[in-house]
């Protein structure tokens, strides 16, 4: 089962919210949709969910229109909290599970399991509004996947989560991926996107700047991210040919090179006086790439 988006466009009068978007999310894949606020991520999600009709283009699920996919097979976690504040956690999960066509009996076991996995067993009778922001987010996530969807859309799932809970959430997402669920995921936290996603689509004002594997995006720029530690002077480092910029990071220097090939001569130069503690050449992080591509900002 594959989600295929071809030439997807959504216009609001003269404004192009999404403009000729193309991507494919395979079965058992986590696909990242990243971009600044207003880039068109939520509009794309809404079109996939059939909440909005595309102006042109197609959204296909297993070669048929996505609208032929049973809605009960879709899971959706909206960016903002979508829970009933006055409803106890267990009733909330039961309601959303039943809304996706699950029986009460089947949901009972799933609720027990998920509440235990997210350390929420003692909160099952508690009103949702009394939970912390992080716990509410966990309940929201459980509500979006308790019915074992085949297509899961997660809009900013890590918002409001501490590192421990973010880790729990990542584990849950990875376990769904292993079960073959197609997961479309958006986040402003590029470290999470880099860690979880196989492929991404980078959006700017509705247009795709890049679609494909993260490693391919990185290769476009090459290994130009150089980290060194040793007795160097920042001013001297910035004068080395091929160095675009230098930034001091605690006891290290981060150098941005104009080209990957500049690294070797720099290595020779820095080691002429002998041993240096660290010389590490790597691709730019996704966050750095995002800033370069989307915001046109150099690191």
Partner 1 sequence: MSKFLLLFEQSYISKLKTKSFYITTLIMLLGITAFFMWPTISGWFSSNEKPVTITVADQTKGSAISYFKNNKKIIFKPAKQSVKQEEHRVVTGKVDALLILSLKSGSQLDAQLRTKKPFELNTQQILEEQVRSAGQLLTIQQLKLTADQAQRIIDQKTNLNQKVISPTADKGKSSQQKTTATIVSYAVALIIYLFVLSYLSIISSEIAAEKDSRIMEIIISSTSPIVHLLSRVCGVLALAMTQFTVLIGAALIMARVLQSGKYWHLISDLFSSLTAGYTVFAILFFFFACVLYTLLGAVLGSLVNKVQDVGQAVMPVTMVLMVGFFIAISGMSNPDTLLIKIFSFIPFTASMIMPMRIGATDMSLWQGFLSLVLLGLTIVGLFIFSLRFYRGSVLTYTNGSFIKKIKQAIQLSK
Task: Give how far Cα 76 sits from Cα of 101, 152, 154, 237, 248, Å.
Answer: 14, 6, 6, 49, 42
Cβ nearer to partner 1, comparing 130 with 258: 130
Q: Is the dihedral of CA 92, 94, 95, 99 positive or negative?
A: positive
Cβ nearer to partner 1, comparing 144 with 165: 144
CB 190 within 8 A of CB 285: yes
33 secondary structure, DSSP code = E
The distance of closest approach from Cβ of residue 30 to partner 1 in the complex, given in angstroms and rounded to an integer, is 20
- Taking CB under 8 A as the rule, does residue 50 contact partner 1? yes
User: In whole angstroms, what separates CA 47 from the centre of its chain?
Assistant: 18
Phi and psi at residue 226, in whole multiples of 5°?
-110, 130
Read off the tokens for 215: 């490693």
Read off the tokens for 295: 């915001």
> CA 115, 74, 175 angle in degrees (round to 5)?
50
Q: With CB under 8 A as the contact rule, which of the stretches 18-26, 78-86, 114-122, 180-188 interacts with partner 1?
A: 78-86
CB 279 within 8 A of CB 228: yes
- Taking CB under 8 A as the rule, does residue 298 contact partner 1? no
Half-sphere exposure of 95 (CA within 13 A, CB side): 11
- Lookup result for tokens 């936290």: 189
Of residues 238-277, those binding partner 1 (CB under 8 A): none
- Taking CB under 8 A as the rule, does residue 12 contact partner 1? yes
Task: Give how far Cα 261 sits from Cα of 202, 226, 255, 281, Å.
Answer: 27, 12, 14, 11
Near partner 1 by CB under 8 A: residue from 14, 37, 53, 178: 53
- Lookup result for tokens 């690294």: 263
Near partner 1 by CB under 8 A: residue from 76, 118, 158, 283: 76
The distance of closest approach from Cβ of residue 271 to partner 1 in the complex, given in angstroms and rounded to an integer, is 56
- Taking CB under 8 A as the rule, does residue 87 contact partner 1? yes
CB 160 within 8 A of CB 188: no
Near partner 1 by CB under 8 A: residue from 144, 165, 181, 187: 144
- Taking CB under 8 A as the rule, does residue 118 contact partner 1? no
Of residues 222-241, those binding partner 1 (CB under 8 A): none
Near partner 1 by CB under 8 A: residue from 74, 173, 197, 226: 74
* β-strands 278-282, 225-229 pairing: antiparallel
Size of the site for partner 1 (CB under 8 A): 30
Cβ nearer to partner 1, comparing 111 with 257: 111
Of residues 188-217, those binding partner 1 (CB under 8 A): none
> Hey, is 22 helix, strand or coil?
strand
Of residues 98-117, those binding partner 1 (CB under 8 A): 98-101
- Taking CB under 8 A as the rule, does residue 138 contact partner 1? no
Q: With CB under 8 A as the contact rule, which of the stretches 56-64, 67-75, 119-127, 264-272 interacts with partner 1?
A: 67-75
- Taking CB under 8 A as the rule, does residue 23 contact partner 1? no
Cβ nearer to partner 1, comparing 84 with 119: 84
Site residues, partner 1 (CB under 8 A): 12-13, 46, 49-53, 71-72, 74, 76, 78-87, 95-96, 98-101, 143-144
């Amino acid at each position: 089962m594959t989600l295929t988006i071809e030439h997807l466009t959504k216009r609001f009068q003269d404004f192009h919210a999404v403009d000729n978007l193309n991507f494919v999310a395979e079965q058992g894949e986590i696909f990242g949709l990243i971009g600044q606020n207003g880039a068109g991520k939520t509009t794309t999600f809404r079109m996939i969910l059939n909440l909005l009709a595309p102006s042109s283009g197609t959204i296909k699920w297993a070669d048929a229109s996505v609208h032929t996919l049973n809605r009960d097979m879709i899971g959706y976690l909206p960016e903002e909290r979508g829970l009933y504040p006055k409803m106890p956690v267990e009733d909330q999960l039961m309601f959303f599970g039943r809304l996706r066509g699950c029986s009460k009996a089947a949901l009972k076991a799933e609720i027990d399991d998920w509440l235990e996995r997210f350390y929420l067993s003692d909160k099952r009778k508690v009103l949702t509004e009394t939970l912390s922001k992080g716990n509410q987010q966990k309940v929201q996530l459980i509500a979006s996947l308790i019915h074992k969807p085949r297509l899961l859309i997660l809009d900013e799932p890590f918002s409001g989560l501490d590192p421990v809970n973010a880790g729990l959430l990542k584990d849950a997402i990875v376990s769904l991926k292993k079960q073959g669920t197609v997961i479309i995921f958006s986040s402003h936290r590029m470290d999470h996107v880099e860690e979880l996603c196989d492929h991404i689509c980078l959006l700017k004002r509705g247009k795709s700047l890049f679609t494909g594997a993260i490693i391919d995006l990185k290769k476009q720029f090459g290994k130009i991210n150089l980290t060194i530690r040793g007795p160097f002077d920042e001013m001297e480092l910035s004068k080395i040919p091929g160095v675009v910029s230098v930034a001091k990071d605690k006891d290290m220097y981060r150098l941005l090179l104009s080209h990957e090939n500049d690294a070797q001569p720099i290595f020779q130069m820095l080691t002429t006086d002998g041993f240096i503690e660290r010389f590490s050449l790597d691709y730019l992080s996704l966050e750095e790439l995002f800033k370069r591509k989307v915001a046109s900002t150099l690191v």
